[in-house]
Structure formats: structure tokens, C-alpha cells
């Protein structure tokens, strides 16, 4: 869907977030570590990539069906409705940490693989294979692609040719058999159709690199993404082989590095065109119900932006939680009318939001290398009125690039890549 009359700016430079640049490349960040949140007043391998060198240069979450967990990308949502089974109906493997009683619920535990190289911004985003909730993928930080088959407890490097890439939500996974994995590189897309064993290189003829890939929860060939350090949203209907620029009437341009997310209506046809999108720097969070032909800025979040490098939303039925900073004020915003309007329920800068069938969570972070910003880990029982800030380990000095949400059929499990603070895991109490 090409946008009539909308020019998408060319990429003029690479991410310059090293050593604590502004979180939204503006003056709206909080690099002092004062971004803690408070309750709002009055509110409750062998890679077959033909050009691996292109990936060695410098360089989120949609929703689940109404009534299910949607704290991760469409490719990562893993609260199951088949009695605790995988997509294929097979019983889920046990989580070894839970089985051994070595991961106390309600505590963040460092599960960084010892072999992971020291990386400026950490390992990169992390997503779940919806067809195999025990399997997680992460990468993009410069040390290849990693996979876990035990709910994030242990990790193996499955690819060492895909290096540092544009650091947004640049990994997506579809629950095909075997899994299809996409990784966005510089002017290319790396795609694997064998669970990450091999990758093919697909040229991406776009004004800038893909930045925030998510998969339609009803169609594994339908993808949407923002562009790295550029304005606009793009869409693919053929599994990432080709992409079209999207932008129709009412699109609040001026932002960049957009994160679009599918809003699950419970119906494949209407979900296909229902997106929530949030930019960096300028513009505003916005929603389309018709695949980008028209856009509306919901009341209550006009001017809401994501911090540099990360965004994630959470949907539970008609309730949507989104976090950010910008004109309406930093915090977590809640919609109970499927995105028509939002109210702030938590104050303070927020980077990402995720959740489970019973709780909603948030963290503050942005693409900052070696920065001690504090994680600002906050949580509330649904519907999200009364928030608290549980303690976190001293080593957790910054929040997550992205948190993957999965389940062993009984326990909700969160695994987050905490920018330059490693990989951490949390079992919900």
C-alpha cells in the first residue's frame, strides 16, 4: 500500500546512542536515572547469507487474542488455550528451573550465557516461537543469533555471521514447522525457514533499514515494521520478500523509528488491518483500523512517543496498555475501549509494557550503553489501577530492550534482554 503524496525521508545516519545519548534523540529523556514511575494521582549455523559483511556494521510486542496474554510480539505471545500444550497439541516440556525449584517466583535471575561477548547494547531483542513456547531467539547486538529451548534458562549460538544490526525489534518468529525467523540487517533481511539453522539474504529496497518487525497473529506471511531512523511504516504480504510503504490520511508524520503492533480483534480479517503505532522524536502514537488507509490519534495520548530503541505494548481483550514519554507525560496509558481513548494509570518515563492474564508490568530503558538508569520495574494486578515497584537485583541497572512472554502451561515466564545488563528471567508469582 503505497502512500499517496507522502515522502519517506532517506536514512542520513546510523544510530548514535552510544554512551548515553538522549533517549528519544531529543531533550525528553531521563539519563540521570530519575525515570522511576509512580502511581498517577487519581488513577488507580551456517548462514547461507551471501553478504554477511552487510550484517556486521553498526545498527517490542503486539497482542494476543482477546482474553489471552499478549505481552510480547505476535510471534512471542505464549499463554496457551489448549490446556497447556504447544500449538501442535503436544504437552509442553517442563521448565527445568521451575522443576528443580531453583528459580524463586517473583525474582529476576541473570541467565546471560557465559559465552556471550561483551556488547555495547547487549544481545539484542528477544522473541518466542509461538509454535514452541519453550524456544526463544535473541540477537542483533553483534554476537550472532542465540536460541534457547528451555524457556530462556540456557542458550546456544546458532549463527555467528549476522553481526550488529539496527537495534530495534529486529527479530521476528513465526510458529511454522520448523520456525521461520527474520532478522533485519543493513539494507537486507535475513530469513530462516529452518528454525535458524541457515539464513538466506533478501535485499530490502527501502529508504532505510527495517526496525521493528512483527508478525500477523493469523497470517505468518504478513509482516509490518517501522524504519530505522526514518519516518514511515512498511508492510509485507509475502513473508518479507517485498515491502510496501504504508501511510494514509491522518498519519501523524514527523516521527521516526516507528514501532507498529497488531491489535488482535479475535478475527483474522479485522486484525489484519488493526495496528497501534508509536514513533520516536515527533509525531504521535496512532491507530489504524484499515491497514493504514486512515489513521486516528486516540484521545489521551496525543504526542506519546517511545524512547530511543525500544517499545512494547500489552493487550488483554479490549484493554490495551502502552508506555512512553512525550507531550501527554511519561507513563503507562490504558485503553478499555480497544484504543479509542487512553488514560494514564502510572506516571514516570516508561519504555516497555507487557503482561500476563492477571498482571501488567512496565520498565524504563532506552538504547544506552553502560548507563545506570535504574530498571523502574513496576507492576499492577489487572485491570492496572494500583501499581508497586518490587525490588530488583543491584546488577539490574537498566530496563529491557524487550521482554519475551511465554508459559510452561502453568507458570508465566518473562525473559528480557536488559540492554547492556545481560539476559534476565522472571517467573510470575
pLDDT grade for 266, boundaries at 50, 70 and 90? very high
CA distance 51 to 193: 18
pLDDT at 14 over 60: no
Indicate the domain borders of the chain.
Answer: 38-44+60-427
Contact of 366 with 388, CB cutoff 8 Å: no
Name which of 358, 314, 316, 357 is nearest 332 in CA terms.
314
* Mean pLDDT rounded to a whole number for the chain: 84
The conformation of residue 330, written as its DSSP 8-state character, comes to S
Q: What angle do CA 404, 367, 152 make, to 5 degrees?
A: 25
pLDDT grade for 38, boundaries at 50, 70 and 90? very low
Name the CATH topology of 38-44+60-427.
Methylamine Dehydrogenase; Chain H (2.130.10)
Could you read off the pLDDT of 400-426 as tens digits, one per residue?
999 999 999 999 999 999 998 999 999
CA distance 117 to 124: 12
User: What does each C-alpha distance from 369 to 31, 263, 298, 399 come to in angstroms?
Assistant: 11, 32, 33, 12
pLDDT at 429 over 90: yes
pLDDT at 6 over 50: no
Q: Is 235 helix (H, G, I), strand (E, B) or coil?
A: strand
> What does the block give as the cell for 124?
539484542
Q: What angle do CA 37, 407, 347 make, to 5 degrees?
A: 10
Give the pLDDT score at 166: 87
DSSP strand E in 49-155: where?
A: 108-110, 126-129, 132-139, 145-148
Which one is predicted more confidently, 338 or 86? 338
CA distance 342 to 132: 34
Average pLDDT of span 278-290: 98
Name which of 286, 357, 302 is nearest 77 in CA terms.
357
In sequence order, the 6+-apart residues with CB closer than 8 A to the CB of 200 are 48, 49, 190, 191, 192
> What does the block give as the cell for 188?
537486507
CA distance 297 to 339: 9
Contact of 11 with 230, CB cutoff 8 Å: yes
Contact of 124 with 58, CB cutoff 8 Å: no
Give the pLDDT score at 23: 56
CA distance 350 to 204: 32
Give me the residues paired with residue 287 across strands.
276, 296
Could you read off the pLDDT of 93-122 as tens digits, one per residue?
999 999 999 999 999 999 999 999 999 999
20-29, 201-210, 341-350, range with greatest mean pLDDT: 341-350
Amino acid at each position: 500500500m503505497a502512500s499517496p503524496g507522502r515522502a519517506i525521508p532517506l536514512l542520513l545516519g546510523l544510530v548514535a546512542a552510544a554512551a548515553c545519548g538522549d533517549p528519544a534523540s531529543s531533550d525528553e529523556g531521563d539519563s540521570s536515572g530519575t525515570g522511576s514511575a509512580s502511581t498517577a494521582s487519581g488513577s488507580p549455523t551456517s548462514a547461507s547469507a551471501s553478504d554477511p559483511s552487510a550484517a556486521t556494521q553498526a545498527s517490542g510486542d503486539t497482542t494476543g487474542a482477546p482474553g489471552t496474554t499478549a505481552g510480547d510480539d505476535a510471534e512471542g505471545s505464549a499463554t496457551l488455550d489448549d490446556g497447556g500444550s504447544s500449538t501442535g497439541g503436544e504437552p509442553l516440556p517442563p521448565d527445568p528451573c521451575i522443576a528443580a525449584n531453583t528459580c524463586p517466583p517473583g525474582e529476576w535471575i541473570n541467565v546471560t550465557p557465559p559465552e556471550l561477548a561483551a556488547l555495547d547494547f547487549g544481545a539484542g531483542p528477544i522473541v518466542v516461537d509461538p509454535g514452541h513456547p519453550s524456544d526463544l531467539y535473541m540477537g542483533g547486538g553483534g554476537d550472532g543469533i542465540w536460541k534457547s529451548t528451555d524457556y530462556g534458562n540456557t542458550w546456544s549460538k546458532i549463527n555467528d555471521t549476522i553481526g550488529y544490526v539496527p537495534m530495534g525489534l529486529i527479530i521476528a518468529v513465526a510458529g511454522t514447522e520448523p520456525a521461520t525467523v527474520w532478522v533485519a540487517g543493513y539494507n537486507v533481511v535475513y530469513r530462516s525457514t529452518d528454525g535458524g539453522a541457515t539464513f538466506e539474504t533478501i535485499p530490502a529496497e527501502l529508504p532505510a533499514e527495517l526496525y521493528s518487525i512483527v508478525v500477523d497473529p493469523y497470517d505468518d506471511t504478513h509482516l509490518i515494521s517501522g524504519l530505522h531512523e526514518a519516518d514511515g511504516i512498511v508492510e509485507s504480504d509475502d513473508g518479507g520478500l517485498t515491502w510496501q510503504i504504508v501511510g494514509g490520511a491522518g498519519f501523524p508524520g514527523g516521527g521516526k523509528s516507528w514501532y507498529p503492533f497488531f491489535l488482535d480483534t479475535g478475527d483474522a480479517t479485522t486484525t489484519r488491518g488493526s495496528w497501534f503505532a508509536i514513533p520516536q522524536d515527533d509525531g504521535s502514537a496512532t491507530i489504524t483500523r484499515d491497514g493504514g488507509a486512515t489513521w486516528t490519534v486516540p484521545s489521551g495520548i496525543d504526542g506519546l512517543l517511545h524512547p530511543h530503541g525500544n517499545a512494547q505494548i500489552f493487550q488483554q481483550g479490549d484493554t490495551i496498555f502502552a508506555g512512553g514519554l512525550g507531550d501527554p507525560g511519561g507513563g503507562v496509558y490504558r485503553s478499555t475501549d480497544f484504543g479509542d481513548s487512553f488514560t494514564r494509570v502510572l506516571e514516570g518515563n516508561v519504555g516497555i509494557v507487557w503482561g500476563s492474564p492477571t498482571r501488567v508490568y512496565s520498565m524504563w530503558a532506552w538504547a544506552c550503553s553502560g548507563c545506570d538508569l535504574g530498571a523502574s520495574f513496576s507492576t499492577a494486578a489487572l485491570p492496572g489501577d494500583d501499581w508497586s515497584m518490587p525490588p530488583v537485583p543491584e546488577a539490574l541497572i537498566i530496563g529491557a530492550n524487550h521482554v519475551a512472554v511465554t508459559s510452561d502451561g502453568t507458570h508465566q515466564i518473562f525473559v528480557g534482554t536488559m540492554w547492556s545488563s545481560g539476559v534476565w528471567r522472571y517467573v510470575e508469582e
